[in-house]
Amino acid sequence: MEKSIVKVEHLSHRYSVQWAIRDINFEITENGIYGLLGSNGAGKSTTMNIMCGVLKQTEGDVYIKGVSMRDNPVEAKKHIGFLPQKPPLYGDLTVEEFLAFTANIRRIPEDEVAGAVKSVMERCGVGHFRKRLIRNLSGGYQQRVGIAQAIIHNPAFVVLDEPTNGLDPNQIIEIRHLIKEIGEDRTVILSTHILSEVQATCDYIRMIEEGQVVFSGTVEEFDNYIVPSTIFVTLASMPSAEELKVLPGVVDAENTGGMNYRVNFSDSREAITKIVETSVARNWQLLEIRAEKSSMDNVFAELSAKSKKH
């Protein structure tokens, strides 16, 4: 059986007397982009810093490719690439000099450094700036160099902390595209409190709230976590809302303007079936019928509230 890429077991940490995270458990067994989601102060940065070996946990352990971070941190870190929220760049070095420096730190053999630097510059789209001082790069290109230093040693596991923070809309799109490319052949964890960032970039979500994992699944599962109880209907002949209310499976109905209606249901299949059948029988001219999806913000608020009750 193949070893998991990342395994977090009973992870807990406290600062002074207060627990920042408590008994966190999850396992990642396949490549892709995972969002580590949580509001500010939820414990995601603590979790991420422990996973990268920056912080030593109070309890539990993290295994990277089967190697214990507690027992063998140097070996475990060989499999990790890390981009902190503020990229660890040296402004007075050129892009090429800085990446050669990070290659040496990562103990890439001397005769392979030049090739590794060239390869990562091409992949991150900074090759044409190889001779430029890092401090003279835009924020977006500095972020690209930051990502390049995180993947120069070809790690199996890449951790990015708020990678699009402070970038303009065009730079954000470019960095998201780069992250998706990186996630095709390795595991990426993206830490953020921005829901749209997860929706645009990630395949899976681990949500931490008040130091505990409150959700683990795909982005689609997260988006549909709160079961929708409403359908939207467009009827060209514009019947009254009262005619919709009396249909089996329908709890309530309202006209939201023109040909559009919002219908609350007790049984979605029964309500949709009866609306379609009645539309045909009474010539309501059904143009559209669709379930309302819960927004990411609603799900986030619901999960946060749920965690506070326990």
User: DSSP states of 205-262 as a string?
Assistant: EEEEETTEEEEEEEHHHHHTSSPP-EEEEEETT---HHHHHTSTTEEEEEEEETTEEE
pLDDT at 296 over 70: no
Structure token pair of residue 33: 């982009």
Give the other-Cβ count within 10 Å of 287's Cβ. Answer: 12
Residue showing tokens 């998991």: 4
**CATH architecture of the domain with residue range 6-223:** 3-Layer(aba) Sandwich (3.40)
Highest mean pLDDT out of 132-136, 162-166, 263-267, 304-308: 132-136
- Write the pLDDT tens digit of every residue in 253-292: 999 888 999 998 888 889 999 999 999 999 999 999 987 7
pLDDT at 2 over 70: no
pLDDT at 135 over 80: yes
- Write the pLDDT tens digit of every residue in 173-201: 999 999 999 999 899 999 888 777 888 89
Q: Work out the percent of the chain whose per-residue pLDDT is above 70.
A: 92
pTM equals 0.75
pLDDT at 90 over 50: yes
Q: What pLDDT sits at residue 305?
A: 67
Residue 53 and residue 69: Cα distance in Å, rounded?
7
Residue 19 and residue 43: Cα distance in Å, rounded?
9
pLDDT at 3 over 80: no
Residue showing tokens 């002949």: 237
Residue showing tokens 């009866």: 274
Domain spanning 230-291: CATH 3.30.160: no
Going from N- to C-terminal start, the domains of the chain cover 6-223, 230-291
Q: What pLDDT sits at residue 1?
A: 40
